[in-house]
C-alpha cells in the first residue's frame, strides 16, 4: 500500500491531478481480501472503487477484441508527456537557474543543454496509427545520430534531468551515406496509437528515407 499512497501523493502534489475513481482489472482483482484492503486504506482519498464482474478476463478480452477489430478503439489517451532531449537557444529567464550554457559553433548562438522538447502531452488524445514528428534536427556527425526520448507525468518539463522525468528510449538514425555540412538536416516521424511504435527518418533536402531504430530502456 505504500506504493499506491506514494503514487496518489505524487499525482496530487507534483502534477495536480485529482484521482477520484479506481477500477480493478486483472487476475489479482479477483482477490476479495486484497481489494477490500485497498478500499479501506485509500477510502479517505478515493471515494469510488469499481470492479467488473470478471476482472481477470478484462485485459484478455480487450486484447482479443482489439486484435480482431483494431477499429474498436479510435483513440488512446497518452499517460505521459513524451519529449526528446535537445539544445534550445539560451533563454535567461528560463534556463539561468539550472541550465548549462554552451556555444553552438555551427549557428553561432548560445544554447542550453539537456532541454525537454515536448511532442506529446499527458492526457492528449492519440488516434490509431496517428503520425507525430518530434521535430527537425541536424546531425553533428556526417552519417548517424541518436535522439534520446523521455517521459514525465508533468505537462511541461523544462529539463530532462529534473525530478519526475525518465529516459525511455533512444532513436538511432542511420543516413546510410555521408552528408556534408549544411546538408545534415533530418526529420523523424513516429506512428503511434496502436500496440507498437513505428519510426521513420527523412532527409530534409533530398526527401530520401533513412533507417531508424528505436531502442527502449
Domains of the chain, each with CATH number or no CATH:
2-71 (no CATH), 77-86+115-216 (2.60.34.10)
- Amino acid 151: pLDDT: 94
Confidence of residue 118 (pLDDT cuts 50, 70, 90): very high
pTM, full prediction: 0.71
Q: Give residue 211's pLDDT band: very low, low, confident or very high (50, 70, 90).
A: confident
For the cut 80, the answer to whether the pLDDT of residue 49 exceeds it is no
Pairing of strands 48-50, 21-23: parallel
**Separation between Cα atoms, residue 60 and residue 41, nearest integer Å:** 28
CB 210 within 8 A of CB 186: yes
Question: Beta strands of the chain (E only): which ranges?
Answer: 21-23, 48-50, 75-77, 81-89, 101-104, 109-120, 125-127, 130-138, 144-152, 165-174, 185-192, 198-203, 209-216
pLDDT for 159 beyond 90 = yes
Distance CA 138, CA 181 (A): 9
Q: Between residues 72 and 118, which one has the greater pLDDT?
A: 118
Reading the block at residue 89, the C-alpha cell is: 537557444
170 or 24: which leads in pLDDT: 170
User: Among residues 105, 180, 189, which one has the least CA distance to residue 141?
Assistant: 180
Q: What is the pLDDT of residues 79-106, one digit of tens each?
A: 899 999 999 999 999 999 899 999 988 7
pLDDT of residue 74: 77
Are residues 160 and 138 in contact, defined by beta-carbon separation less than 8 angstroms? Answer: no
Q: What is the model's pLDDT at position 94? A: 93
Confidence of residue 145 (pLDDT cuts 50, 70, 90): confident
At 168-198, the pLDDT tens digits run 999 999 888 888 888 888 999 888 766 667 8
| pLDDT of amino acid 103 | 94
Distance CA 31, CA 12 (A): 28
**Mean pLDDT value of segment 60-76:** 78
Question: For residues 110 and 112, what is the distance between their CA atoms, to the nearest angstrom?
Answer: 7
Look at residue 152 in the predicted model and tell me its pLDDT. Answer: 94
CB atoms within 10 A of CB 187: 15
CB atoms closer than 10 angstroms to residue 171: 20
CA angle 126, 127, 129 (to 5 degrees): 110
Residue identified by cell 482483482 is 29
Cβ(151)–Cβ(165) below 8 Å: yes
What CA–CA distance (Å, rounded) separates 48 from 71? Answer: 30
Alpha carbon of residue 130 to chain centroid = 15
Mean pLDDT of the chain, nearest integer? 83
* Residue 60 pLDDT level (bands cut at 50, 70, 90): confident
User: Which one is predicted more confidently, 14 or 119?
Assistant: 119
Amino acid at each position: 500500500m505504500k506504493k499506491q499512497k506514494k503514487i496518489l501523493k505524487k499525482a496530487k502534489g507534483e502534477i495536480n491531478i485529482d484521482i477520484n475513481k479506481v477500477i480493478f482489472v486483472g487476475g489479482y482483482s479477483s482477490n476479495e481480501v486484497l481489494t477490500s484492503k485497498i478500499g479501506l486504506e485509500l477510502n479517505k482519498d478515493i471515494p469510488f472503487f469499481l470492479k467488473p464482474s470478471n476482472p481477470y478476463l478484462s485485459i484478455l478480452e480487450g486484447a482479443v477484441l482489439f486484435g480482431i477489430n483494431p477499429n474498436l478503439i479510435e483513440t488512446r489517451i497518452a499517460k505521459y508527456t513524451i519529449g526528446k532531449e535537445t539544445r534550445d537557444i539560451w533563454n535567461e529567464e528560463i534556463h539561468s537557474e539550472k541550465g548549462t550554457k554552451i556555444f553552438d559553433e555551427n549557428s553561432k548562438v548560445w544554447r542550453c543543454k539537456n532541454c525537454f522538447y515536448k511532442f506529446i502531452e499527458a492526457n492528449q488524445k492519440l488516434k490509431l496509427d496517428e503520425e507525430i514528428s518530434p521535430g527537425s534536427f541536424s546531425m553533428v556527425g556526417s552519417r548517424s545520430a541518436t535522439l534520446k526520448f523521455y517521459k514525465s507525468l508533468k505537462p511541461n518539463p523544462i529539463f530532462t534531468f529534473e525530478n519526475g522525468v525518465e529516459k525511455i528510449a533512444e532513436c538511432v538514425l542511420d543516413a546510410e551515406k555521408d552528408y556534408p555540412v549544411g546538408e545534415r538536416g533530418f526529420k523523424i516521424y513516429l506512428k503511434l496509437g496502436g500496440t507498437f511504435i513505428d519510426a521513420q527518418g527523412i532527409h530534409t533536402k533530398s526527401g530520401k528515407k533513412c533507417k531508424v531504430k528505436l531502442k527502449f530502456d
